[in-house]
Amino acid sequence: MKYEYLTNEDLDIAVNEYIAALKSEGLNVKTEVIPVFEAAGRITANPVYAHICAPHYNAAAMDGIALMANVTFGATETTPVKLTPDQFIQVDTGDPMPDGTDAVVMIEDVVRDGDNVLLYSAAVPWQHIRQVGEDVCAGDMILPSFTEITPAALGAMLAGGVLNVAVVKPPVVGIIPTGDEIVAPCENPAPGDIIEFNSTIFSGILRSWGAIPKTYPIIKDIKEDIINTMKQAVEECDAVIINAGSSAGRDDYSSLAVGTVGKVLYHGIAIKPGKPAILGFAKDTPILGVPGYPVSGIIVLDQIMRPVIEIMTGRNLHRQEKITATLGRMMTSPLKYREFVRVRIGVNEKGEYIATPLSRGAGVVTSFVKADGIIDVDKDCEGYAAGDKVEVILLRPKADLDNTLTIIGSHDPIIDEITDILKRDNKDSVVSSSHVGSMGAIMAIKRGEAQMGAIHLLDENTGKYNDVYVNKHFPNGGVVLEKGVKRIQGLMIAKGNPKGIKGFADISRDDISYVNRQKGSGTRILCDYLMSQNGIKESDVYGYEREEFTHTSVAAQIASGTADAGLGIYSAALTYDLDFIPICNEEYDFLIDESAIGSEKIQSFLKVLHSDELKQRLVRLGGYETWD
Amino acid sequence: MKYEYLTNEDLDIAVNEYIAALKSEGLNVKTEVIPVFEAAGRITANPVYAHICAPHYNAAAMDGIALMANVTFGATETTPVKLTPDQFIQVDTGDPMPDGTDAVVMIEDVVRDGDNVLLYSAAVPWQHIRQVGEDVCAGDMILPSFTEITPAALGAMLAGGVLNVAVVKPPVVGIIPTGDEIVAPCENPAPGDIIEFNSTIFSGILRSWGAIPKTYPIIKDIKEDIINTMKQAVEECDAVIINAGSSAGRDDYSSLAVGTVGKVLYHGIAIKPGKPAILGFAKDTPILGVPGYPVSGIIVLDQIMRPVIEIMTGRNLHRQEKITATLGRMMTSPLKYREFVRVRIGVNEKGEYIATPLSRGAGVVTSFVKADGIIDVDKDCEGYAAGDKVEVILLRPKADLDNTLTIIGSHDPIIDEITDILKRDNKDSVVSSSHVGSMGAIMAIKRGEAQMGAIHLLDENTGKYNDVYVNKHFPNGGVVLEKGVKRIQGLMIAKGNPKGIKGFADISRDDISYVNRQKGSGTRILCDYLMSQNGIKESDVYGYEREEFTHTSVAAQIASGTADAGLGIYSAALTYDLDFIPICNEEYDFLIDESAIGSEKIQSFLKVLHSDELKQRLVRLGGYETWD
């Protein structure tokens, strides 16, 4: 490879050098002149001065008569001045002041006397007149450079006779998706196909920054094609993003193409995710090489492209709201890499923010959908302990967090359905749910990290659900157990039961591949209980170590043919059209911090929990019974 | 008039009744299905569920060999397992797992033995495999209803096989400008013409709320035309705004048109500005009558139309940042009217926010350009005293306020020029200047309301500028006087000097109409000083009471022919092409709170004050000299 990997480079230093290099190549805003009525939200390229005064004429500010003030001088309550019709003109509010007049006397103060009028007090010159330039004067600066044009500013410009305005021209950013395995979005991708959605994500991000994305067709891993497309893009666009899988074992012509068309400043930055980023340019056109995994791509765009687009758009894109949060659980981070970790933020009943790290897989784009913020973990930091205070860069407005109901614990689709119903009723409502299993819920509430947990915990001795665990972990009370739903748990098996599975005990058969749930989940506890009842050892079960986090992901493995059986709820089997052997009717309940139970967000949640709309949705999902 | 003015109605009650009436008529979101790649920033109309799993196949998560884990069982460091070529397949990261394999052994752990391989530890089923549904599983809810679609959500949807999405259709809002005196924006309006810029302001506001504005041509005050256009708009749009001057003395067919096409719920709300608002509807189409003055219009839109658009767009438009500020000066407010007062916010050196009310004229649209926030003054409140704590609804991000340099005091265009240069250097920079005159600057700094003031105060005894005043008002120091510029003050007179004015003393001539500056301004003090030197009494000067707040507005009055003379700086005379009789060379300086002088914003300001770029701009403005 012609271009060396310059890893371990500090991100901030690399970005500063990149910006400096681009500026020395002449990177700057481009400008265009557009009609004012199209300029809302645009950024001024120059100061805007008023051409005319607004108002541009002197106008009556009251209904009454216009006159020269000096004809009224000497008028008092005892010695009125009489004016003849040639000395005054009737005016309405807004009328231009007639020539030869410099004051308005309000109609209330005018006493009619035939065709004449009597005035009992003198007028002051220029009284009750809206004067030229009251709003803005010709020559005044209406807006300085690099200022966002608000709707009111549009009005001020038009009032000031400014019909066209020089604004920053939004930069066109080319996006080149590359890769042999990449296919356009579709509903039936073949195994090995990677759906190309990065360019759609990047387009959305660029648009939100005020740039104009231009996506090129997918280019196969053919050196000449990549170089030619890059040449074309550099000619047609103000900046270029090349998106490529950069993992070892693949062809990677990205840096070669950047180096051929322009210059590679860095290839490889010590960040995680996003290490294989390429910082390059051709003259004043920035070219950014972005890794193929979506999360890496988003981070690289955010960290490296944003400051570049900021220069090109004249906008402030770096103002981000930050909060201090308590870390809900331990989080390790590799040394020598600056890591960006997505987190969910919950608010406990004391109003403290609790951050829970989300999946760190670079391919898990939903982690960005669920994320409320990002923790920027320094290169020299090995991570944080549970309870540590961390700074979180927010991805949503702080007001949204304060309105968020955090539900932690066992996974069930009804939480999503309740979330949806709440949102339809009240657009302010936000529910944040983390699937950490039933035991995770109990621990989180004990630690004061969540107000509500979802649990289904079977007591092996009594055969009863939840109560025993709650009493054990909260001997002094402080929590309320709100009955949720009954749901059918059972063994999910492939459609038509090709392996003739008769019951749970068959999971120990040599020809059966099992898929399990994660430790601490109620379903895992149920599995272990059933295994002990049936005298099955862990080593008897092929796939016991294969852990999934939700019912649907267990069902998905069975549906994809890579597992023969797994425990899960009936609705998941139904979604994936699987056969199902019912085992028990579980009680899936909500554990609520007693001090939070009166809060509006929890009361709204409980209202929906007992609503007819939810009942109808549960019928559609299948396998549920309600308590009322 | 067929429809009664229902004034004194409480705004909140009126809006709640209006919303309730509209909802009972069936007002709701409309929806449309669009391709996901066009959906960034749109609002989901329904919950979005994944159609397929992402990833949709099991893939190797490492480079290595794929195999069935059970063939490796029993392998240890001392007893390796030997695999023949039919038992394993080489895979790269991302490759789909070959049929009949369920684990990947990393290439580092594979020992070659001819065509065979040796493994020294057993593989666990499903190790190093990126499993189906790691990101999202078919059937999982990706987004609930009424949720803004982020760029990452676009990726999650496409990954989940969702190619089209049901979103809220943005409502089309018709805007009908009416009035005989209304003309389209132009550079040379005739006296009496009112430039129609409200529809441009309203369009910008509606767009920022996610609605689509549709502006109709200007309609004259002809009853039938207004009714017909209203009928057309109700058919073509989802909501309608009719914009009309509603002051007495004019024809006002707005409420008649609303009543003919639909129903008037209220006409007249006890708010200031904005009283003549009309709340009407035709079936489920809201129709809002908006007063003609731009500030009234903006307030009415914000208070009454926003909650309606919120329902129609499914967006949260009511989240507004609020701060508590100290009122810089007394502010009265009429009883029986709820008043919305625009304010500028400054930050003093203690980090406290100081609110200064701006012009309350309903026609002063620049007050909205300058405003940082709005104070919502209750009907029952007669106003506030200086120093009172008030709640301010912010119109800009709070972060902008914290970056703002507040300059209070005398007006000079160089402040605007410095503001512009600062903005070009650093887009974060915000300068907020209030023209309250030189004495106002001294008082504001004494009260700790501003960090910097602009002054030019002539001491009559010494003939020197500024020092005497500073020493008198700050006997214990605490402030720094930074030399600004020298500028030529003089008498501005009409081009060609038609009245043959020879010097300042001529302002007392009977045939001369004077225009003055406001009390407390340095130029007013100069005027009074010159008058006393020349033995001129106030009553000798026709127009002494006519007060303007800036040099340009004095020049504008003279240029418009309504005054013969006024004191002002040379650059203002130059802008308006006026004749000019120089009187003195003033020292226009900056008074700075000593504790703030080291701050970055003040240092940046001073750097620009002494910059070559400013010097070049001063040459262009004319009449300035610098100290260095």
pLDDT tens profile A324-340: 999 988 899 988 899 99
Chain B residue with CA closest to A125: the answer is B543
Q: Distance, in angstroms, between B153 CA and closest chain A CA?
A: 5
Q: Are B586 and B465 in contact (CB under 8 A)?
A: yes
Q: Do B139 and A247 touch (CB under 8 A)?
A: no
Chain B residue with CA closest to A52: the answer is B187
Q: Do B185 and A163 touch (CB under 8 A)?
A: yes
Q: Distance, in angstroms, between B133 CA and closest chain A CA?
A: 6
For residues B514 and A386, which has the higher predicted lDDT (pLDDT)? B514
Can you give the pLDDT at residue B3? 40
User: Which of B313, B328, B352 is the endpoint of a domain?
Assistant: B313
CATH code of A259's domain: 3.40.980.10
CATH code of B83's domain: 2.170.190.11
Single out the residue of B117, B295, B321 nearest to residue B202, CA to CA: B295
Assess A163–B contact: CB distance below 8 Å, yes or no. Answer: yes
Chain B residue with CA closest to A162: the answer is B187
Q: Are A494 and A558 in contact (CB under 8 A)?
A: yes
Measure Cα distances from A158 to A19, A133, A257, B55, B362 in Å.
37, 14, 48, 54, 17
Q: Do A131 and B548 touch (CB under 8 A)?
A: yes
Q: Is B581 exposed, middle or buried (0-12, 13-18, 19+ CB in 10 A)?
A: middle
The answer to the question of residue A602 being in a domain is: yes
Q: Distance, in angstroms, between B479 CA and closest chain A CA?
A: 29
Q: Do A560 and B58 touch (CB under 8 A)?
A: yes
Assess B540–A contact: CB distance below 8 Å, yes or no. Answer: no
Gyration radius of chain A's alpha carbons: 35
Assess A503–B contact: CB distance below 8 Å, yes or no. Answer: no
User: Which of A80, A102, A130 is the endpoint of a domain?
Assistant: A130
Single out the residue of B552, B620, B609 nearest to residue B411, CA to CA: B552
* Largest interatomic CA distance in chain B: 119
Assess A565–B contact: CB distance below 8 Å, yes or no. Answer: no
Distance CA B389, CA B215 (A): 41
Can you give the pLDDT at residue B360? 84
Chain B residue with CA closest to A133: the answer is B553
Q: Do A365 and B152 touch (CB under 8 A)?
A: yes
pLDDT per position as a tens digit, A279-325: 999 999 999 999 888 999 999 999 999 999 999 999 999 878 999 99
Same domain for A377 and A284, yes or no, is no
Mean pLDDT of A395-409: 87
The answer to the question of residue B89 being in a domain is: yes
The answer to the question of residue B475 being in a domain is: yes
Can you give the pLDDT at residue B451? 87
Same domain for B120 and B254, yes or no, is no
Paired strand residues for A175: A215, A241
Q: Distance, in angstroms, between A474 CA and closest chain B CA?
A: 33
Distance CA B247, CA A94 (A): 9
Can you give the pLDDT at residue A19? 96
Q: Are B465 and B589 in contact (CB under 8 A)?
A: yes
Q: Are A438 and A454 in contact (CB under 8 A)?
A: yes
Measure Cα distances from A606 to A422, A449, A484, A585, A593 in Å.
10, 20, 9, 22, 14
Same domain for A263 and A210, yes or no, is yes
Average pLDDT by consecutive 10-residue portion of chain B (628 residues)?
55 95 96 97 97 93 92 93 96 89 94 94 92 93 96 96 98 95 91 93 97 96 94 98 65 86 92 92 96 93 97 90 91 91 88 89 89 94 93 91 88 94 90 87 88 92 92 95 96 97 96 94 94 95 93 95 96 96 96 92 95 96 91
Q: Are B482 and B627 in contact (CB under 8 A)?
A: no
Same domain for A513 and A600, yes or no, is yes
Assess B556–A contact: CB distance below 8 Å, yes or no. Answer: yes
Distance CA A97, CA B510 (A): 22
Assess B55–A contact: CB distance below 8 Å, yes or no. Answer: yes
Q: Do A545 and B124 touch (CB under 8 A)?
A: yes
At residue A471 the predicted structure's pLDDT band, cuts being 50, 70 and 90, is very high
Gyration radius of chain B's alpha carbons: 35
Question: Residue A173 has which token pair?
Answer: 């950013």
The answer to the question of residue B100 being in a domain is: yes
Smallest Cβ–Cβ distance between B134 and the set A250, A314, A364 belongs to A364
Best of B97, B154, B358, B402 to disrupt the A interface (most A CBs within 10 Å) is B154
User: Which of A130, A162, A184 is the endpoint of a domain?
Assistant: A130
Q: Distance, in angstroms, between B471 CA and closest chain A CA?
A: 33
Assess B130–A contact: CB distance below 8 Å, yes or no. Answer: yes
Same domain for B519 and B558, yes or no, is yes
Single out the residue of A288, A394, A274 nearest to residue A342, CA to CA: A394
Q: Do B423 and A146 touch (CB under 8 A)?
A: yes
Single out the residue of A243, A184, A169, A175 nearest to residue A213, CA to CA: A175
DSSP A96: B
Chain A residue with CA closest to B413: the answer is A140
Distance CA A615, CA A625 (A): 9
Q: Distance, in angstroms, between A475 CA and closest chain B CA?
A: 36
| Contacts with B553 from chain A: Cβ below 8 Å | 131-134, 137
Same domain for B305 and B328, yes or no, is no
Single out the residue of A49, A46, A162 nearest to residue B572, CA to CA: A49
- Please provide the DSSP assignment of A189-250 as one string: PPTT-EE--HHHHHHHHHHHTT-EEEEPPPB-S-HHHHHHHHHHHHHH-SEEEEEE---TTS
pTM for the whole structure: 0.93
Assess B520–A contact: CB distance below 8 Å, yes or no. Answer: no
Smallest Cβ–Cβ distance between B197 and the set A155, A193, A363 belongs to A155
Element (H, E) at B154: helix B151-159
Q: Are A135 and A83 in contact (CB under 8 A)?
A: no
Residue-range definition of the domain harbouring residue B199: 11-28+171-313
Distance CA B343, CA B441 (A): 17
Smallest Cβ–Cβ distance between B58 and the set A146, A194, A562 belongs to A562
ipTM: 0.93
Same domain for B463 and B371, yes or no, is no
Smallest Cβ–Cβ distance between B424 and the set A95, A146, A545 belongs to A146
Same domain for B536 and B458, yes or no, is yes
The answer to the question of residue B214 being in a domain is: yes
- Residue B1 CB-half CA count within 13 A: 16
Distance CA B283, CA B272 (A): 29
| Contacts with A131 from chain B: Cβ below 8 Å | 548, 553, 557, 562
Q: Do A159 and B319 touch (CB under 8 A)?
A: no
Q: Do B250 and A163 touch (CB under 8 A)?
A: no
Can you give the pLDDT at residue A311? 95
Same domain for A386 and A446, yes or no, is no
pLDDT per position as a tens digit, A446-458: 988 888 999 999 9
Can you give the pLDDT at residue A6? 58
Can you give the pLDDT at residue A7? 58
Q: Distance, in angstroms, between A132 CA and closest chain B CA?
A: 6
Assess A313–B contact: CB distance below 8 Å, yes or no. Answer: no
Same domain for B88 and B186, yes or no, is no
Chain A residue with CA closest to B56: the answer is A191
Same domain for B326 and B299, yes or no, is no
pLDDT per position as a tens digit, A185-195: 998 999 889 99
Chain B, window 393-452: residues with a beta carbon less than 8 angstroms from a chain A beta carbon: 397, 399, 413, 416-417, 419-420, 423-424, 427-428, 431
| Contacts with B194 from chain A: Cβ below 8 Å | 94
Assess A133–B contact: CB distance below 8 Å, yes or no. Answer: yes
The answer to the question of residue A142 being in a domain is: no
Smallest Cβ–Cβ distance between A369 and the set B37, B95, B150 belongs to B150
At residue A3 the predicted structure's pLDDT band, cuts being 50, 70 and 90, is very low
Same domain for B273 and B356, yes or no, is no
For residue B472, the one-letter residue type is: K
Distance CA A160, CA B589 (A): 30
Q: Are A288 and A241 in contact (CB under 8 A)?
A: yes
Q: Distance, in angstroms, between A220 CA and closest chain B CA?
A: 16
Paired strand residues for B213: B173
Chain B residue with CA closest to A396: the answer is B150
Assess B510–A contact: CB distance below 8 Å, yes or no. Answer: no
Assess B319–A contact: CB distance below 8 Å, yes or no. Answer: yes
The answer to the question of residue A400 being in a domain is: no
Q: Is the pLDDT of residue A246 over 60?
A: no
Q: Distance, in angstroms, between B43 CA and closest chain A CA?
A: 11
The answer to the question of residue B201 being in a domain is: yes
**What is the number of structural domains in chain B?**
4
Q: Distance, in angstroms, between B162 CA and closest chain A CA?
A: 7
Smallest Cβ–Cβ distance between B126 and the set A131, A543, A560 belongs to A543
Assess A124–B contact: CB distance below 8 Å, yes or no. Answer: yes
CATH code of B329's domain: 2.40.340.10
| Contacts with B47 from chain A: Cβ below 8 Å | 416-417, 420
Q: Are A119 and A81 in contact (CB under 8 A)?
A: yes
At residue A5 the predicted structure's pLDDT band, cuts being 50, 70 and 90, is low
At residue A248 the predicted structure's pLDDT band, cuts being 50, 70 and 90, is very low
Distance CA B99, CA A445 (A): 44
Q: Is B109 exposed, middle or buried (0-12, 13-18, 19+ CB in 10 A)?
A: middle
Assess A588–B contact: CB distance below 8 Å, yes or no. Answer: no
Portion of chain A with pLDDT greater than 70, in percent: 98
CATH code of B487's domain: 3.40.190.290
Count the residues in chain A. Answer: 628
